[in-house]
Amino acid sequence: MNRHSAATAAQARGLDGAANDLGVSPEELMAVAGFQCARLALRLLANPHDPPTVAVLAGRGNNGGDALGCARHLARWGCEVRALTWASDTDPRSSSARQVHAAQESGVEIRVPGGAAEGDLAWATRGAALLVDGLLGTGSRGAPREEIAIAIAAANLSGARILAVDLPSGLDADTGRAAGECVRARFTLMLAAPKLGCLAARARQFVGELWLADIGAPAGAYLAVELDPPTFVGDGGLGRVQAA
């Protein structure tokens, strides 16, 4: 069996399932992902404004949950955090609803974009030193739909440095191509495993500086999807990655 060091979109999805089979739930992975994202964000806000302002754009999927988890920690650590969430599930038992509630209870200002999304985007990004992109994840294919494409364009024009969660929204996780609007991140924090598309030469204009975070998936989960478990040395499982 050949194992790989970088994950395809299918392997990334499979890794979550394999971790769940080995006792680490998707919610536990999401909790650690949000914490690691917040740790890196705080580092990137060295010598920030007082208090630093962070914008968070959270989509409907797991990446949105990761971004809201990041927002929750940053608010608790003294940042002013404004978040837009496209999560449409109002079931209080859902992961999205729980992340929204936890972020609100930690001091994050949250809006759900309405008909005039441009106004909400301007509100979220105004004066932000850092923007956390959690709009789209590894399962996204093709050009983003219109409302997300508008958000991506606003992020790119905001003037804030962008930290993308797992991969820049609009980037294909397998090929590194952008079929339409794509976030141009200053930093990308890949979660659990490097993403094949982020390492592609054609993706360099979108991914910026690459980082990798350990989010607690067991070594056996990597082996189950034919991935080499990454080696995380020092700094709590957070480190730079050099693209080929």
Residue pLDDT, tens place only, 192-208? 999 999 999 999 999 99
Top-ranked range on mean pLDDT: pick from 46-55, 193-202, 224-233: 193-202
Tell me, yes or no, whether 2 lies in a domain: no
Q: State residue 36's pLDDT score.
A: 98
Which whole number is the average pLDDT over 134-154?
A: 93
Q: Residue 2 above 60 pLDDT?
A: no
Least confident piece of the model among 102-116, 150-164, 184-198:
102-116
Beta strands in 46-138 (DSSP E): 53-58, 80-85, 109-111, 130-134
Residue pLDDT, tens place only, 62-83? 999 999 999 999 999 999 999 9
Distance separating alpha carbons of residues 94 and 54, to the nearest angstrom: 25
Tell me, yes or no, whether 156 lies in a domain: yes
CATH code at position 188? 3.40.50.10260
CB atoms < 10 A from the CB of 127, how many?
13
Residue pLDDT, tens place only, 231-242? 887 789 999 998
Q: Residue 84 above 90 pLDDT?
A: yes
Kindly tell me the sign of the dihedral angle through the C-alpha atoms of 182, 188, 191, 194: positive
Tell me, yes or no, whether 3 lies in a domain: no
Tell me, yes or no, whether 1 lies in a domain: no
**Domain count of the chain?**
1
Tell me, yes or no, whether 4 lies in a domain: no
Q: Residue 131 above 80 pLDDT?
A: yes
Q: Which residue has the tokens 């040395």?
A: 233
Domain containing residue 46: 9-241
Please tell me the pTM assigned to this model.
Answer: 0.95
Distance separating alpha carbons of residues 127 and 89, to the nearest angstrom: 30
Q: State residue 192's pLDDT score.
A: 97
Q: State residue 234's pLDDT score.
A: 73
Tell me, yes or no, whether 140 lies in a domain: yes
Q: State residue 95's pLDDT score.
A: 78
Q: State residue 93's pLDDT score.
A: 66
Q: Residue 97 above 90 pLDDT?
A: no
